A = this chain, B = another copy of it.
Amino acid sequence: MRISARTQYALGAMLALAGADRPVHAEWIAGSQEIPRRFCDNILLQLRRAGLIRSQRGPDGGYWLARPAGDIALADVIRVTEGVEPAARPFPAAAAPLAEIWDRLRSHEDALLSEITLADVVASGTHPSALAQQETH
- Mark A residues whose CB is within 8 Å of B: 1-3, 5, 8, 11-12, 15-16, 32-35, 74, 89, 92, 94-98, 100-102, 104-106, 108-109, 112-113, 116, 121-122, 124-125, 131, 135
- Inter-chain contact A131/B2, CB cutoff 8 Å: no
- Inter-chain contact A95/B33, CB cutoff 8 Å: yes
Q: Lowest 8 CB-CB distances: which A-B pairs, in order?
A: A12-B95, A34-B92, A2-B2, A97-B124, A1-B1, A97-B121, A1-B105, A33-B92
Contact flag A1-B3 (CB < 8 Å), given A32-B94, A101-B74, A125-B97 = no
- Inter-chain contact B131/A101, CB cutoff 8 Å: yes
